[in-house]
């Protein structure tokens, strides 16, 4: 269940017992996402809005989106160990109603199908080899409903070789 440019690093880190707050796991929803949601009206569940979080890790961000009123949030990760960690995290969520609206899936973003009102890409792009960035953009577009929103946190904005995380730039952000 992989794509060209996928790194075995992620499953390796998760399977070695990545703890909350270690490495790329910040232990809670992204501050960037939380600030964005605090500036937007909470959604009415009846609207039926759907969101996707690729590279979801423990699904902190997916839970934040569900708590904000998204009626369906897909938390997608290539790592089966991360998916299991996300499911365990959701079992302990204080907002059980929101947690029930999060669907945790193990799968490859590049072959995933669906239509979403919002895609939250928090440092998922930097986890991918630069050779698949055009495919990433094409897939993001195919997953968004007309008028949907791709919200992304670009990191790291540096000039370096290798990764992950792979380098990003202001130019890349404007290209998107």
* Percent of the chain residues topping a pLDDT of 70: 80
pTM: 0.86
Classified by CATH at the fold level, domain 45-175 comes out as: Rossmann fold (3.40.50)
Q: Which helix (H) or strand (E) holds 153?
A: strand 144-153
Domain boundaries, the chain: 45-175
pLDDT digits (tens, 9 = 90+) for 40-82: 999 888 789 999 999 899 999 999 999 999 999 999 998 999 9
């Amino acid at each position: 269940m992989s794509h060209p440019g996928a790194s075995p690093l992620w499953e390796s880190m998760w399977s070695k017992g990545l703890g909350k707050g270690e490495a790329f796991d910040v232990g809670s929803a992204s501050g960037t996402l939380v600030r964005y949601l605090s500036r937007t009206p909470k959604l009415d569940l009846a609207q039926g809005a759907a969101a996707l979080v690729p590279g979801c890790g423990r699904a902190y961000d997916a839970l934040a989106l569900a708590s904000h009123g998204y009626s369906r949030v897909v938390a997608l990760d290539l790592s089966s160990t991360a998916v299991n960690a996300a499911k365990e995290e959701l079992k302990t969520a204080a907002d059980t109603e929101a947690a029930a609206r999060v669907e945790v899936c193990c799968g490859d973003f590049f072959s995933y199908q669906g239509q979403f009102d919002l895609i939250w890409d928090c440092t998922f792009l930097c986890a991918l080899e630069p050779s698949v960035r055009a495919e990433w953009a094409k897939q993001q577009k195919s997953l968004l409903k007309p008028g949907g929103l791709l919200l992304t946190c670009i990191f790291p904005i540096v000039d370096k070789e290798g990764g992950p995380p792979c380098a990003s730039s202001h130019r890349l952000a404007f290209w998107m």
